[in-house]
């Protein structure tokens, strides 16, 4: 009897190719599309549109497999949108895609799949799952082609989730996936990839937060390192550590955001970019994925941004469950609210949320 797999389908080419490949491999496939956001607060913000649902449904009809639609709007609002809004209000730069993966695409989705009698879940992420033959522990690894690797946004997965998680795209390049979609006649073969935060398609997260909360941004000031006021700003949600463009103030010289304080609504600017570099950071809400929780320092390759390479460093576990990360060479602007992920070669050790120096 063939194993049953429920594929999370966004209406895009990656998830469609995932369903096709698993169907070809002999799995009993069904597709599931999540309704997460309908843009109630704004006319322009739309996620999981009717077109996306219909594209996923049409691909399933092409493959001759069932298609489900799951309404996760309330859960998405509670676990993704509200922490996103609150993070910016606290002077952080949250990553809503990681929150969505954690709470919706793997936690809620895997539990629903189990309830429906499926053996596995699958998505169109570019990463790989293996199993250590000695310990029996499931492990997450980078995609074979690093330019498309998405392991950074999956560091929070649990052993139970990994045990039922299929990632057929981890061995393919993006162009190979598109070619598979074209060769198999999938209707979404030429559909462009989405780039923006799904519920903020115009990229203006500060304006979204204002619309969502119905509140005007709090008054605050740009200050220099000595605390001297340089001029008013438009609300701390508009800024992130390391930023230099779009500050909205003319100072006659290039300056960089080095610190954001929600306590007094100040944004500290520095002229010397070298002041943004840090030789350490602290991370909270740490997940150990492919290894047991650390009890002693361990060397690792550290990644502090999705679009950035790794840097060598050491992970030092703390008594409260957080970690101190020490870099061999200082890194530019580790940003509170963003993820830090630990690697050993292509193996994802785990990760956490950057909380400060």
Query: Which residues form the catalytic set?
Result: 100, 198
326 burial via Cβ count (<10 Å: 0-12, 13-18, 19+): middle
- Residue ranges in the chain assigned as alpha helix (H): 13-24, 50-63, 73-76, 82-89, 96-100, 109-115, 159-163, 174-183, 205-213
**Distance (Å, rounded) from C-alpha 16 to C-alpha 142?**
21
**Distance (Å, rounded) from C-alpha 124 to C-alpha 148?**
11
**Distance (Å, rounded) from C-alpha 191 to C-alpha 203?**
20
Report CA-CA distances (Å) from 132 to 80, 120, 158, 290.
32, 19, 15, 9
- Select from 64, 42, 355, 328 the least CA-distant residue to 213: 42
Tokens of residue 54, six digits: 């219909």
**Distance (Å, rounded) from C-alpha 79 to C-alpha 93?**
16
Radius of gyration of the chain (CA): 22
Task: Calculate helix-pair angle for 50-63, 13-24, nearest 10 degrees.
Answer: 20
CA within 13 Å, CB half, 291: 15
Q: Would you list the DSSP string of 112-150? A: HHHHTT-SEEE---SEEEEE-TTT--EEEEE-SSGGG--
- Neighbour tally for 318: CB within 10 Å: 12
């Amino acid at each position: 009897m063939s194993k049953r797999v429920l594929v999370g389908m966004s209406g895009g080419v990656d998830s469609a190719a995932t369903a096709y490949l698993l169907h070809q491999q002999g799995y009993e496939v069904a597709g599931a599309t999540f309704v997460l956001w309908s843009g109630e607060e704004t006319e322009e913000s739309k996620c999981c549109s009717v077109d996306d649902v219909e594209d996923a449904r049409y691909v399933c009809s092409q493959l001759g497999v069932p298609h489900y639609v799951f309404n996760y709007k309330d859960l998405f609002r509670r676990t993704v949108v509200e922490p996103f809004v609150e993070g910016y209000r606290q002077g952080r730069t949250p990553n809503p895609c990681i929150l969505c993966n954690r709470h919706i695409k793997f936690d809620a989705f895997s539990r629903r799949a189990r309830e429906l009698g499926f053996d596995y879940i699958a998505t169109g992420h570019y990463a790989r799952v293996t199993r250590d033959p000695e310990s029996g522990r499931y492990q997450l690894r980078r995609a074979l082609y690093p330019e498309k690797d998405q392991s950074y946004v999956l560091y929070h997965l649990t052993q139970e989730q990994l045990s039922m998680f299929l990632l057929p795209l981890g061995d393919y390049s993006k162009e190979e996936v598109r070619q598979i979609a074209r060769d198999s006649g999938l209707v979404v073969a030429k559909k462009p990839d989405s780039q923006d935060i799904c519920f903020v398609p115009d990229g203006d997260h500060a304006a979204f937060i204002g619309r969502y909360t119905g509140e005007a941004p709090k008054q605050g000031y740009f200050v220099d390192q000595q605390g001297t006021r340089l001029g008013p700003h438009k609300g701390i949600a508009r800024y992130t550590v390391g930023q230099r463009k779009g500050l909205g103030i003319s100072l006659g010289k290039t300056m960089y955001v080095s610190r954001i304080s929600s306590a007094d609504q100040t944004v500290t600017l520095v002229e010397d970019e070298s002041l943004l570099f840090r030789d350490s950071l602290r991370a909270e809400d740490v997940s150990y994925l492919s290894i047991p929780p650390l009890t002693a320092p361990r060397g690792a390759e550290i990644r502090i941004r999705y679009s950035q390479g790794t840097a060598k460093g050491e992970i030092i576990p703390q008594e409260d469950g957080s970690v101190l990360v020490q870099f061999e060479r200082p890194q530019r602007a580790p940003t509170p609210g963003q993820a830090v992920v630990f690697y050993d070669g292509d193996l994802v050790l785990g990760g956490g949320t950057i909380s400060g120096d």
